[in-house]
Structure 1
Amino acid sequence: MLFQLIKKDKHCAARLGLITTSRGEIPTPIFMPVATHGAMKPLTPAQIEETGARIILSNTYHLHLQPGEGLVKKAGGLHKFMSWDKPILTDSGGFQVFSLPNKRITEDGVFFKHEVTGEEIYLDPASATRIQQDLGADIIMAFDECIPYPCDKAYAEQSTKKTIRWLKECRNAMTDNGQALFGIVQGSVYEDLRAMCAREMRKLDLPGYAIGGVSVGEGLELLKKVVGWTAPHLPENKPRYLMGVGLPEDILESVERGVDMFDCVIPTRYARSATLFTRRGKIRLTNKNYKRDFFPIDPSCDCYTCRHFTRAYLHHLFVANEVLSAILSALHNIHFYLTMMTEIREAIANDRFMEYKGAFLGEYLGNERK
């Protein structure tokens, strides 16, 4: 994997870049749709490609539980297994383990219960790395401890040092097969711990770096502070990935601070509950006001859904509990996010990102508050 920093906006830290992998190029800033189990609810790979997606994310923890990395490897790897020929990034499973009840975190790894069978499972840096290598992802994430929020500083410091040590173990477990290992900067909401973690990880000269632990309930203002503290300590010539973020306002604030890559389940999760994104804010299509609304979801959108269907039709599908409601809504939401990223890149190229951000949020959040 190679990363080229093409330019920085003259008025802020926003960056225009290009990631090159053996499976294709990824312009940055980029949003990565999430296909947790090797499938994106509720879209086919062809539909995902139609939205303009250049890279997707799948999850180590879930694929390890079902169907197992051995079967995926035997099938020829995750790309072949799910019929997706563009790049894939796999999350190590650290966040999912953090979310589980009754887990037991040790200095060497984590014990947790299988969600279905109740069997005890152990995951450590070496096994998380091996699983991702068997899955065959293009970019793999180091196994880390995702620190809860709020958290006292003593625990955050101990956990952050553990994450640094685990990253070194992940790197030692790597075999040379062309995959790119990203480290994950932790440190909770403590500026000195974030800076320390970033500095220590820089010493390893990894292909890329992520900022973790910023989607655990801390809110937008703390997110902006953490990203602002961390990004300046990361190498300029490597991609910077903010994990699990998020809403359009989160992405715009983080691009301003120098972040290149984003992922989140929000576009597809919201789509399944009839919440759709438009330039004038989110709308909820189960609202009875849309029963006789014959406009597209967003008149400015050129996605498949907006070109062919109305809000009234989508309202009908949701009320009738038709699966097509989720499909058409997910197509629109993913297209909305990827169109926003295209516009962000164009704005950075022309040194007008701050102008774009102000105009976008003025329309989007202005109508959200009404």
Structure 2
Amino acid sequence: MSTDAPVPNLSHLPPEMLDFTLSKTFGALAPRLGRLTLPGRKPLLTPDFLGNTSRGAVPHISQDIYRSRANLGGVYIALEDFVEKHPQKIPPVLQYDVPEPLRRFIALPDAALLVLGARRMPPLPTPMSNTNSEVALQTSVGFKTISLEYYAAAARKLQPDIVIGLADIPFGQESVSTKRKDKMSDRTEAWMRDIIAKRNGIDKGERRFNIFAPFLPLDKDLQQWYLEHLVDEMADHISGIAIYDAYLLDDLPEELHKLPRLSLHPPASPQELLRQISLGMDIFTIPFVNEATDAGIALDFTFPAPEPREDTKTSRRSLGIDMWQPEHATSLIPLSTGTSCSCYACSHHHRAYLQHLLNAKEMLGWVLLQLHNHAILSSFFAGVRASISASTFAADVAAFEAYYEPQLPEKTGQGPRVRGYQFRSQDHAKGEKKNPKAYSKDLEGKVKTVKVFAAHGQEPKEKPETRNLIDDEALEGLVDLENLRLEDGNGNGKGELELEDDENGRASSSSS
């Protein structure tokens, strides 16, 4: 991603003025190059992507790391990440009385583009349904609905750069009746009218936000009435289109082709991402990059694809490297060798160290993976823009699909701990715990036994090849613990420390 260009001086323009210029296009349904500029922000060269966030932050990347190491031109923020369940409680972000409170609340750099939507990407289904005046959300503490007035007021208060208009989409439903589809179109049209009116009613001198209109995942005839009103009455008041089904772009009215297109259709792989780009999509939210990081997978692809070697022409190359595999335990090569990745992780660390961090459940492991995966994706989009500029995109896509596997590697290891709102609603009814126990303790009366596992996060019985690497080294610091006395607050002995052998369960202990 090219975000190192200087911030344009557009201070003479109103703060809400978004400008999108197409520099190269081949038609209505074809790849295209564009430049999105906003006063005070770095220009976004398209096609490009936004960082997908959770609770206002790109997962595993803190705000200081974002500023110093991440190469992102902007982020997508979901309002449901900040809304409380109880209506009588005002979310803390709405109590922050400073200019651009959302940007300050999440410590986002001034140069980064800030896009606000109602739902996360991808959104999780809710047991509550939308109504004519309210949209169902899944907050961090439960389900609730918000009205259009609440959404518009929050957008006015938080002052993002771009707000995605509310869309009536029943996420998670496999089949939707024709009557329900008619409601989707009617409600979305009414909600768009209202949010435009409320944005235009903001006092002069107060910062306004740009509006991206939803393009529903419906056939053209089922949303024709909404699209006609969008073109005839609202086109002058919107700055872009938010598209929920990229493969319906052929139904987008010609009058809206000049506007930037934000894809809210999550691609499952780089190949699907290329197919969306080939249809003329400009900006993306890409959940699979976070999913790969959580799974311990280091992305390893480049665009255009390298020339295949003679000994590898018969098989396709994987799109990523599973860092949980045992062959990486002693590997001293960078995360990515097939691509010339210059990210911080590849420049300073090797695979053995990263696997050690993952096995030890050290969050630094996922930080390094996330930095690497975003760097791979940024380089991917830079190659896409260069290919479109050289008019070789179609041939490069064919070569990419022939060179790489069609899907990302399957997850084999355990990811980081997850929060409740990262599960689908039906998963909350299950009795089992979402995360395994991090520690093992036995409490029997006054006798306290602490089990110490000397394995750096690995269990020899699960990975026999690591047994000889961890036995003496891991126990070296425990030698002096044999005489450790466990005491309560009054200095009385409480029990014994037990050192347990992972494999055979044999124990040696020293009584207090």
In 2, Cα distance between the equivalents of 1:173 and 1:211?
Answer: 23
Q: 1:114 to 1:352 in 2, by over 3 A?
A: closer
How far has the Cα of 1:147 moved from its partner?
Answer: 3.2
Q: 1:124 to 1:5 in 2, by over 3 A?
A: same
Is 1:136 paired with 2:159?
A: yes
Name the residue aligned to 1:159: 184
> Is 2:101–2:158's contact at 8 Å kept on the other side of the alignment?
yes
> Is 1:234–1:240's contact at 8 Å kept on the other side of the alignment?
no
Is 1:61 paired with 2:91?
A: no
Name the residue aligned to 2:243: 211
Aligned pair partner of 2:101 in 52, 60, 77: 77
In 1, Cα distance between the equivalents of 2:394 and 2:407?
Answer: 20
Q: 1:194 to 1:69 in 2, by over 3 A?
A: same
Aligned pair partner of 1:52 in 53, 71, 77: 71
Is 1:187 paired with 2:217?
A: yes
In 2, Cα distance between the equivalents of 1:140 and 1:153?
Answer: 29
In 2, Cα distance between the equivalents of 1:139 and 1:338?
Answer: 22
TM-score using structure 1 length: 0.86
Aligned pair partner of 1:289 in 322, 327, 332: 327
Is 1:270 paired with 2:297?
A: no
TM alignment of 1:106-117, pairs within 5 A: 106-110=131-135, 115-116=140-141
In 2, Cα distance between the equivalents of 1:281 and 1:272?
Answer: 16
- Give the 3-state SS of the residue equivalent to 2:368 in structure 1: helix
Larger radius of gyration: 2
Q: 1:111 to 1:257 in 2, by over 3 A?
A: closer
How far has the Cα of 1:123 moved from its partner?
Answer: 1.2
Cα deviation per residue 1:6-44 (whole Å; 9 max; x = unaligned)? 111489611100111112211111100112322111112
In 2, Cα distance between the equivalents of 1:368 and 1:110?
Answer: 34
In 1, Cα distance between the equivalents of 2:331 and 2:345?
Answer: 15
- Give the 3-state SS of the residue equivalent to 1:61 in structure 2: helix
Is 1:248 paired with 2:270?
A: yes
Name the residue aligned to 1:7: 24
- Give the 3-state SS of the residue equivalent to 1:166 in structure 2: helix
In 1, Cα distance between the equivalents of 2:81 and 2:335?
Answer: 33
> Is 2:80–2:118's contact at 8 Å kept on the other side of the alignment?
yes
TM alignment of 1:4-43, pairs within 5 A: 4-9=21-26, 13-22=30-39, 23-43=41-61
Aligned pair partner of 1:88 in 103, 113, 133: 113
- Give the 3-state SS of the residue equivalent to 1:314 in structure 2: helix
How far has the Cα of 1:261 moved from its partner?
Answer: 0.6
Name the residue aligned to 1:220: none
In 2, Cα distance between the equivalents of 1:44 and 1:98?
Answer: 23
> Is 2:263–2:283's contact at 8 Å kept on the other side of the alignment?
yes
Is 1:126 paired with 2:145?
A: no
Name the residue aligned to 1:318: 358
Question: Unaligned 5+ residue runs, structure 1?
Answer: 215-222
Name the residue aligned to 2:124: 99
How far has the Cα of 1:73 moved from its partner?
Answer: 4.2
**Structure with greater helix share of residues:** 1
In 2, Cα distance between the equivalents of 1:24 and 1:129?
Answer: 26
In 2, Cα distance between the equivalents of 1:230 and 1:12?
Answer: 10
> Is 1:18–1:25's contact at 8 Å kept on the other side of the alignment?
yes
Counterpart amino acid of 1:245? P
In 2, Cα distance between the equivalents of 1:139 and 1:313?
Answer: 40
In 1, Cα distance between the equivalents of 2:288 and 2:350?
Answer: 22
Range moving further from structure 2, 167-176 or 23-32: 167-176
Counterpart amino acid of 1:272? D
- Give the 3-state SS of the residue equivalent to 2:168 in structure 1: coil
How far has the Cα of 1:74 moved from its partner?
Answer: 3.8
In 2, Cα distance between the equivalents of 1:292 and 1:167?
Answer: 57
- Give the 3-state SS of the residue equivalent to 1:302 in structure 2: coil
In 1, Cα distance between the equivalents of 2:217 and 2:27?
Answer: 30
Q: Percent same amino acid among aligned pairs? A: 19
Name the residue aligned to 1:235: 256
Task: Please provide the CA RMSD for this pair.
Answer: 2.9
Q: 1:249 to 1:97 in 2, by over 3 A?
A: closer
Range moving further from structure 2, 133-142 or 244-253: 244-253
Name the residue aligned to 1:356: 396
How far has the Cα of 1:54 moved from its partner?
Answer: 0.9
How far has the Cα of 1:82 moved from its partner?
Answer: 2.6
Cα deviation per residue 1:291-337 (whole Å; 9 max; x = unaligned)? 23332221212211112222222111111111111100000111111
TM alignment of 1:334-353, pairs within 5 A: 334-353=374-393
How far has the Cα of 1:124 moved from its partner?
Answer: 2.1
Name the residue aligned to 2:198: 173
Name the residue aligned to 2:231: 202
Q: 1:202 to 1:87 in 2, by over 3 A?
A: farther
Aligned residues, how many?
A: 356
In 2, Cα distance between the equivalents of 1:97 and 1:330?
Answer: 18
How far has the Cα of 1:268 moved from its partner?
Answer: 2.3
Counterpart amino acid of 2:282? D
Counterpart amino acid of 2:134? G
In 1, Cα distance between the equivalents of 2:192 and 2:91?
Answer: 26
- Give the 3-state SS of the residue equivalent to 2:83 in structure 1: helix
- Give the 3-state SS of the residue equivalent to 2:383 in structure 1: helix
How far has the Cα of 1:100 moved from its partner?
Answer: 4.6
Cα deviation per residue 1:251-292 (whole Å; 9 max; x = unaligned)? 211110011010133212321220221114122211223223
Q: 1:40 to 1:113 in 2, by over 3 A?
A: closer
- Give the 3-state SS of the residue equivalent to 1:24 in structure 2: coil
Question: Unaligned 5+ residue runs, structure 2?
Answer: 1-17, 85-89, 302-317, 411-512
> Is 1:7–1:17's contact at 8 Å kept on the other side of the alignment?
yes
